[in-house]
Chain A
Amino acid sequence: MNKNLSWKLAVIVGILLAFLIGILGIPKDWSGRGVLASIAERIHLGLDLRGGTHLILQVQVNDAVNVDSDNALARLKEDFRTHKINYADIIKPDPVNHPEMIVVKGVPPDQTSDFKNIISDRLPEYDASSGAENSWTVSMKAQNLADLKNRAVSQAIETIRNRIDQLGVSEPVIQEHGLGQYQILVQLPGVDDPARVKEIMQSTAMLEIKQSLGGPYSSEQSALQEHGGVLPPDTVLMAGRSIGSRDTETGEAWYIISRASAVTGRDLRTAEPSTDENGQPAVRFILTSEGGRKFYAFTSAHVGDNLAVVLDNKVQEVAVIKEAIHDTGVINGRFTPQQTQDLSMTLRSGALPAGIKYLEERTVGPSLGADSIRSGVRAAIIGMLAVLIFMLIYYRWAGVNADIALILNLVILLGFMGYFGAVLTLPGIAGVILTVGMGVDSNVLIFERIREELRNGKTPPSAVEQGFGHAWITIVDTHVTTIVSAAILFIFGTGPVKGFATTLVFGLAANLFTAVFVSRVIFDWVLSRKQRGEALSI
Chain B
Amino acid sequence: MVRYSLFAKVIVSSEQRTTNSEQQIFEGIVSSVEFFRDTSIDFLGKKWYFLVFSLVFSVAGLLSMAFWHGIPLGVDFRGGTLVYVKYAHTPDPSAIHSEIEGAGLKNARVQRYGQAGNNEVLIALDIQETSEQALDKGKTQIIQALESHATAGKQDLNNSSSLTVANYLLEKDPLHVGTDANPRYSAIAQAIVDYRDKVKGGVLGSISNDELKSVADPAVVASLQDNFYVSDFGIRNVEIVGPQVGQQLRKQAILATLYSLGGMLIYLGFRFEWIYGVAAVLTVFHDTLITVGAFSLLNWEISLTVIAAILTLIGYSNNDTIVVFDRIRENIKLLRRDKLSDIVNKSINQTLSRTILTAGLTFLTVLALFLFGGEVLHGFSFALVIGILIGTYSSIAIAAPILVAYQDWRGGRGKKPIAMPVRSGSGPAQPKEKVKV
Contact = CB atoms under 8 A, between A and B. Distances in A.
Interface string A169-209: 00000000010010000000011111100100000000000
B329 to A, nearest CB: 10
B376 interface: yes
Contacts of A430: 369, 373, 377, 380-381
Contacts of B7: none
Nearest to B312: A485
A445 B354 contact: yes
Interface stretch (B146-154, B168-176, B229-237): B229-237
A97 B23 CA distance: 82
B55 interface: no
B28 A459 contact: yes
B364 A437 contact: yes
A357 B236 contact: no
Given A366-B198, A427-B377, A463 B28 contact: yes
Contacts of B365: 383-384, 386-387, 433-434, 436-437
Interface string B151-170: 00000000111101000000
Contacts of A481: 263-264, 267-268, 315-316, 318-319, 322
Given A477-B326, A481-B264, A426 B377 contact: yes
B34 A456 contact: no
A502 to B, nearest CB: 12
Nearest to B323: A474
B40 to A, nearest CB: 15
Interface in B359-412: 361-369, 371-374, 376-377, 380-381, 384
A454 B431 CA distance: 13
Given A361-B238, A376-B374, A386-B365, A448 B319 contact: no
B357 A438 contact: no
B292 interface: no
A538 B29 contact: yes
Nearest to A192: B161
A358 interface: yes
B260 A484 contact: yes
Given A359-B242, A383-B365, A438-B362, A473 B423 contact: yes
Nearest to A468: B427
Contact of B361 (A178, A441, A472, A496): A441
A445 B305 contact: no
Interface size, B (range):
35 or more
Main secondary structure of the interface of A (DSSP, over half): helix
Nearest to A508: B315
Given A367-B234, A396-B30, A433-B369, A361 B318 contact: no
Interface string A367-383: 11111101110111011
A383 B385 CA distance: 13
A8 interface: no
Contacts of A433: 365-366, 368-369
Contacts, number: 309
Contacts of A192: 161, 235
Contacts of B427: 466, 469-470, 472-473
Nearest to B327: A474
A379 B378 CA distance: 12
Interface in A253-281: none
A454 B323 contact: no
A411 interface: no
Contacts of B315: 481-486
Given A358-B132, A365-B234, A488 B263 contact: yes
A371 B312 contact: no
B358 A444 contact: yes
Interface string A437-473: 1101100110010011111111110010110011011
A384 B255 CA distance: 33
A387 B365 CA distance: 7
A538 B33 CA distance: 9
A316 B319 CA distance: 67
Contact of B32 (A445, A469, A497, A537): A537
A360 B28 contact: no
A489 interface: yes
Contact of A451 (B29, B197, B252, B323): B29
B73 to A, nearest CB: 15
A480 B267 contact: yes
B25 interface: yes
B110 interface: no
Contacts of B384: 434
Contacts of B318: 478, 481-482
Contact of A478 (B307, B323, B367): B323
B178 interface: no
A141 interface: no
A533 B241 CA distance: 66
Contacts of B322: 474, 477-478, 481
Given A367-B86, A454-B27, A493 B308 contact: yes
The interface centre, meaning the residue of A178, A477, A501 with most chain B CB atoms within 10 A of its CB, is A477
A492 B428 contact: no
Given A427-B380, A441-B362, A448-B357, A364 B237 contact: yes
Given A477-B271, A478-B318, A485-B311, A366 B193 contact: yes
The interface centre, meaning the residue of B193, B235, B362, B373 with most chain A CB atoms within 10 A of its CB, is B373
Given A363-B237, A477-B326, A466 B425 contact: no
A466 B431 contact: yes
Given A457-B433, A535-B27, A181 B248 contact: yes
A370 B239 contact: no
A71 B234 CA distance: 51
A195 B376 contact: no
A371 B384 CA distance: 22
A457 B361 contact: no
B196 interface: yes
A535 B368 contact: no
A401 interface: no
Nearest to A429: B373
Contact of A456 (B267, B364, B433): B433
Nearest to A431: B312
A51 interface: yes
A58 B248 contact: no
The interface centre, meaning the residue of B259, B350, B384, B435 with most chain A CB atoms within 10 A of its CB, is B259
A327 interface: no
A51 B163 CA distance: 14
A386 B364 contact: yes
5 contacts: A383-B367, A394-B33, A456-B431, A486-B311, A536-B30
Interface of A: 48, 51, 56, 58, 178, 181, 190-195, 198, 357-372, 374-376, 378-380, 382-384, 386-387, 390-391, 393-397, 426-427, 430, 433-434, 436-438, 440-441, 444-445, 448, 451-460, 463, 465-466, 469-470, 472-474, 477-478, 480-486, 488-489, 491-493, 496-497, 500-501, 504, 533, 535-538
Given A374-B374, A457-B27, 4 more contacts: A194-B136, A195-B136, A383-B367, A484-B315
Q: 8 smallest A-B Cβ distances: which pairs?
A: A367-B202, A375-B374, A485-B315, A383-B368, A437-B365, A469-B427, A482-B315, A437-B362
